[in-house]
Amino acid sequence: MKLRIPFAASALFALSALPMTAGALDVNITAQLPSVEVMHGGQKVAIMRNQNQANTINPDFAKTSRQCPPFCIQPGELAPGVQTIGELEILDYLKRMSDGDKRILVVDSRTPDWVAKGTIPGSVNIPWDQLNIGHSDPITVQDILEKQFGVKNQDGFYLFDQAKTVVMFCNGPWCGQSPTNIRGLLKIGYPADKIKWYRGGMQDWESLGLTTVKPAK
């Protein structure tokens, strides 16, 4: 898969070849963490913050108001046992997944038209409407559960012993796509402690100037 790198990430490949220390950049992720290298589409991508300190948020996420429903504010705790996480936690999961931990899957639940505007490097796009349990095609749902989430089907029953820890996100606190999928997974017995929710989603990711990637056209 080829990637077209947007402006926010345009300088990262030149930088990723160099050993970066916390003092190598003006805008770090944390005081001691300048960047995080992950794999996306078979290529190494360094996630870092935009170094232009005059940069402003992507206009796609500049709106303060969207019609509710469906774009209503989501709760801080989506469901008991499902951990709500922030940027540093999702970076840790991305790094572990890129380092070969097959027990983790970071999922962009948005539809392809949104993903085309930019996604989090290292994430895998599984559109929410394909995984909308009880509404989507059951064969498609089962295929996702078995081939991507590591769920086993035995005599019509789902077994979650080897199920992956899924880290799900969508467009932000006003977006119901990943919450819909998470609630559906819980209904079929997916362990809550194996579901993580990045509530801030792309809204918060973009507001912090973190690297995004776009599929090549």
Number of compact structural domains in the chain: 1
pTM above 0.85, yes or no: yes
Q: Is the dihedral of CA 73, 76, 80, 85 positive or negative?
A: positive
pLDDT of residue 150: 98
pLDDT of residue 39: 95
The CATH number of residue 84's host domain is: 3.40.250.10
In a domain, 59, yes or no: no
**Domain housing 181:** 3-53+67-215
In a domain, 62, yes or no: no
In a domain, 207, yes or no: yes
pLDDT of residue 5: 38
70: left (phi > 0), else alpha (psi -120 to 50), else beta?
alpha
Write out the chain's pLDDT in tens, 217 residues. 333 333 333 333 333 333 455 568 999 999 999 999 999 999 999 999 999 999 999 999 999 999 999 999 999 999 999 999 999 999 999 999 999 999 999 999 999 999 999 999 999 999 999 999 999 999 999 999 999 999 999 888 999 999 999 999 999 999 999 999 999 999 999 999 999 999 999 999 999 999 999 987 6
Instruction: Look at strands 3-4 and 214-215 and give their pairing.
Output: antiparallel
- DSSP 8-class letter at 60: G
